Chains A and B, each alone.
Chain A
């Protein structure tokens, strides 16, 4: 066991970590930040996406010890300072971009990363960017719509409903 320290959602935190502890485990079990979900064991589903030093990564593919000292942001750090939903989160609620909510943290983190790289993505670009995130509930329609709305685009013309 080694004590690993990093900055998570703006706060310096530390917890014990084995050499094999994944960042997803470190967040969920070490820090009890359970908003980051684990949906697979082959790095395919994207439920575990967080930001490490500003980049979206699948936290199930990263060893906690390898990101010691990094700036990590999780879904728990995405709301506005006053606790209200951030722009992307609000768009997901407004456009019904989630159902069971399990894929949602990863979707929001991925969407944030997309909009940072590409502030006005086309529908096609959104779909391509979500390649690593699986949602079984929504059929993606409303996720895509929510992300485009969050980018400030008018989504009222996107296929009926």
Chain B
């Protein structure tokens, strides 16, 4: 770029320091809320994911543990942990799965912007001075790795299908005689809402939007792509909201199954 850079000394007003701003509104509320929300979720998910028990109740499976590859008799590959499971780590079926939604959300474009502000103060908020002088952006390792987001997206789309399968299972209760009978419990509703919210979040992903049609300049004359692009774009407009409600609800779904399994809560049957 040939245009000469502009030095700090050419700027008249009092420069840039941490927290320096003339904003009057409580600008720290938004990054503060993101900090508390994300930190609380990370603590809960780590704790719940390493429990390795109380993740099934009746026909329900906690979304943190879905799909269950190894762990209980209902697991895809049986109850015994695989031989390569690290000795030092407490066995929990969530370990095989949780890295997918974790990686997906960690590299989510919305979330990146939010945690760069809340956890790294880069910037603390708009037009509020920063603590650090040096800045690399997402240009270099390790943040360059954020570009793998689309691979997590592909996996997350598959997980949505698995969660749909869980909803199906949550409709079949074993009765006293040991037969499967159709039914709906409060837990069924909790799990159904969970997949709906997770799908709304996942299908509004920027990378999916790109794959569906964003990468092309011309969508006219390609009705399928155009429809897919319009769908993802519609969800994408509220991507931040979907991020937060799906995050909260997925945590609550785990909590619901967990407390029912522990006998703390009673799962009411509706049908």
Q: Do A and B come from one complex?
A: no
Residues of B within 8 A of A (CB): none
Residues of A within 8 A of B (CB): none
